[in-house]
Amino acid sequence: MKDIQNQHDSRRINIRKVGVKGVSYPVIVLDKAHRAQKTVALVNMYVNLPHHFKGTHMSRFVEILNRFHDRFTLAAFQRILEEMKDRLNAEAAHLEMGFPYFFTANKKDQGVLARYNCRLYGSLATSLDLIVEVDVPIATRSSADDAPDNAPGLWGQATVSVRMHRFLWIEDLIALIEEALVSAHSQPPTVKNGCAAIEAALQASQAFSWYTVFVKNQASGYASFAACEWPDDGPASAHGLQASSFAGPLAAHNLSLVLPQ
């Protein structure tokens, strides 16, 4: 059978991204407290198609993903991108993974698991670029919060995207954000206070080379938000990437994922 995809294309049109998206894939996430938890990820895989190729073999994306049924660490994440580049003769490769992550962040709520939507955005041209993104729900706070039967409502959500330059567990990233939000809610709760408190905590940790913070409050009939980015002249926000990659809310320096056999 003739290999159409690898035939020369004289039209000289570069395709920015070609690949597969929305691949539902079982993964095991290694966590700090319990070593591992099973979850299901939504995976997108793309490459930049050089102008001299007519196409690419779409089945090869999943073939590459299936090869990594052992420990799925940051090194494995990079190896997948490298193999995508090599096997598909691409100038750059992109791998995105979104998954729900569960753990108990608040020590007062032992045994109560909270859900956090996490995303990894990886690109490899000459070097690996990895963005970690996590959604942290923000509960309403009142004087009745300490009542045993009190079930707080949802005030809003904080979405934080980071590039890390030192290791940080995903639980520690979430805890850092939640502790900042607790301090912010000691003042009148506003999106501005929440955004400023998270930014101050990220700066104080000195674990990040870049970040964006997006805090949203959903009110009756409208939503308010506040956002910040550091450094100000940093790369394009991960929120634009998310909008083009994942249809909705579905992030981690060596989160140590394991793909089950």
Give the model confidence (pLDDT) of 10-52 as tens digits. 444 455 788 999 999 888 777 888 777 888 999 999 998 765 5
Of the candidates 239, 246, 243, 256, the one whose C-alpha atom is nearest the C-alpha of residue 42 is 246
Give the model confidence (pLDDT) of 190-245 as tens digits. 999 999 999 999 999 999 999 999 999 988 889 999 999 999 766 554 443 444 45
Separation of alpha carbons 255 and 261, rounded Å = 19
Give the residues across from 99 on adjacent strands.
Answer: 118
Q: Domain 15-258 falls in which CATH fold?
A: Urate Oxidase (3.10.270)
Q: What confidence category does residue 127 fall into, taking pLDDT thresholds of 50, 70 and 90?
A: very high
Q: What confidence category does residue 94 fall into, taking pLDDT thresholds of 50, 70 and 90?
A: very high
pLDDT at 140: 82
Mean pLDDT, residues 117-126:
95
pLDDT at 110: 64
pLDDT at 251: 38
Choice among 124-128, 156-160, 256-260 with the minimum mean pLDDT = 256-260
pLDDT at 258: 47
Give the model confidence (pLDDT) of 47-85 as tens digits. 987 655 555 778 899 899 888 765 667 778 889 999 999
> What are the two backbone dihedrals, phi and then psi, of residue 120, each rounded to the nearest 5 degrees?
-115, 130
pLDDT at 234: 60
Choice among 7-11, 68-72, 144-148 with the minimum mean pLDDT = 7-11
Separation of alpha carbons 80 and 4, rounded Å = 24
Mean pLDDT, residues 174-188:
86
244 vs 13, 44, 96, CA distance in Å?
21, 11, 11
Identify whether the C-beta of residue 77 lies closer than 8 Å to the C-beta of residue 45.
no
Give the global pTM. Answer: 0.80
Of the candidates 23, 12, 30, 26, the one whose C-alpha atom is nearest the C-alpha of residue 46 is 23
Give, for 234, the enclosing helix (H) or strand (E). Answer: none
Instruction: Please state the domain extents for the chain.
Output: 15-258
255 pLDDT more than 50: no
Separation of alpha carbons 248 and 241, rounded Å = 12
Structure tokens at 134: 């996590």
1 pLDDT more than 80: no
